[in-house]
Amino acid sequence: MFPNAIMAIVMLSIYVLLALNAAIFLATIAIAIKDKVMIKKYEQACARLRPYLEAYIEDEDCLDGLLRHMAGGYNRRVVLDMLLEHARQSKSSISGKFERLGYVDEGIIHAGKSLDFNVIKQMCLMKSPKAFDVLMKGSDSEDFELKYMCYYTLSLLPLSRAQADIFVRKLVSSSILRDRIIEMIDNMDLGVERYLSLLEMQSSEIGKTVFLRALKGKPGMKDEANSHRLLQYLGDTKEVRIAAVLVLASTGSVKYFDNLIELYRQEREWEVRAAIAKSMLDYSECGADVVEALKVMTYDEAWWVRFNAVEVLAKLGVEGISALVDISLSKRDAAVSALAYGALNANQAVYYTVKEYGVENDD
């Protein structure tokens, strides 16, 4: 009797497993069919709505025509997807188009209830300043990634002067890494005068540092009226001095060469001296003066200063290489001679300079 009962249980288990596998198979097919139907439905909706959306993008007077065809939650989501994709590919802001369709207000309401990465990404593409308040509130989140995304999105919005002041004040006092803060400040794409004004409003070291570094390479900084305002920061804290050295050198103005050399002679912090040595590459037009200054720096007590000086000399053409040869043969300091010798052997700039010089001589 027992063997028959066991056999019945085994057969029943087999039937159950077969039925379960069949159910899983059928469910998989059903899901695949459903997905295919949904994709087809989405593609059809896109094809139907795209002409009206494109007309609206070209001419906002076509708004009513688009609204008539996008009634219903599903159609609104399809239009939002297409408009977000257009914003992602467009170089100009179309925040007004999102606002007129009500997407910005919907996003703000959603964010007020539950701020998540999806709505932040949408606001990042919409670039509407109306999202300022909800994003500023989100920047207080305990979730660091969410906080970072809020700050980053804020940096891309066309903020008013008052909003920018509030944002900058909060950003520079946040826990965001300095390099990321500089990136966000650069994202704001303000005029040089506005950047300088914000810099002069800063009282903290981090605030001054990030704005100085953000100014580096800005076209307007070649104007002496702007760059001259940075000289005061050469007497500030170590990090601020380093940032000021780099931005002043990046202007390429020979007028600041003497300022930096004088600072080098007085500077006690090796990090600042190393920054000055590195910045000498921007003064290659000074010729013999910059080479002589770098030759002095190669005997600095700090290794990084010596290293930067040697690296810059290697990039200054024949005059720089000649100086390195002299240093490598000098018996004044064996360590410095070895450093110069290493640069002559390993630096690619030396190789190309010597090669070019040899070709010119052959000609």
In a domain, 270, yes or no: no
Inter-residue long-range contacts of 134-139, CB under 8 Å, 24+ positions, other chains counted: 134/108, 135/111, 136/166, 136/167, 136/170, 138/111, 139/170, 139/174
Burial class (CB in 10 A: 0-12, 13-18, 19+), 250: middle
- Fill in the DSSP letter of residue 255: G
In a domain, 309, yes or no: no
pLDDT attached to residue 355: 53
In a domain, 116, yes or no: yes
Residue 357 pLDDT > 50: no
Least confident of 14-18, 49-53, 114-118, 314-318: 14-18
In a domain, 153, yes or no: yes
HEC string for 126-153: HCCHHHHHHHHHHCCCCCHHHHHHHHHH
What's the total number of domains in the chain?
Answer: 1
How far is the C-alpha of 292 from the C-alpha of 287, rounded, in Å?
9
In a domain, 182, yes or no: yes
In a domain, 135, yes or no: yes
The secondary structure of 138-197 as a DSSP string is HTT-S-HHHHHHHHHHHHHS---HHHHHHHHHHHHTSSS-HHHHHHHHHHT---HHHHHH
Nearest to 226 by CA among 186, 261, 191: 191
Q: What is the pLDDT of residues 80-93, one digit of tens each?
A: 999 999 888 887 77
Tell how many helices (H) and how many strands (E) occur in the chain. Answer: 21, 0
How far is the C-alpha of 153 from the C-alpha of 334, rounded, in Å?
53
Q: What is the pLDDT of residues 196-230, one digit of tens each?
A: 999 999 999 999 999 999 999 888 888 889 999 99
Residue range of the domain that includes 166: 98-189
In a domain, 104, yes or no: yes
Q: What is the pLDDT of residues 155-192, one digit of tens each?
A: 999 999 999 999 999 999 998 999 999 999 999 888 89
Contact predicate 283/315, CB 8 Å: no
Residue 11 pLDDT > 90: no
In a domain, 132, yes or no: yes
The pTM score is 0.78
Residue 320 pLDDT > 80: yes
What's the Cα-to-Cα distance from 354 to each of 117, 221, 284, 298, 322, rounded to whole Å?
Answer: 54, 34, 18, 21, 11
How far is the C-alpha of 196 from the C-alpha of 239, rounded, in Å?
18
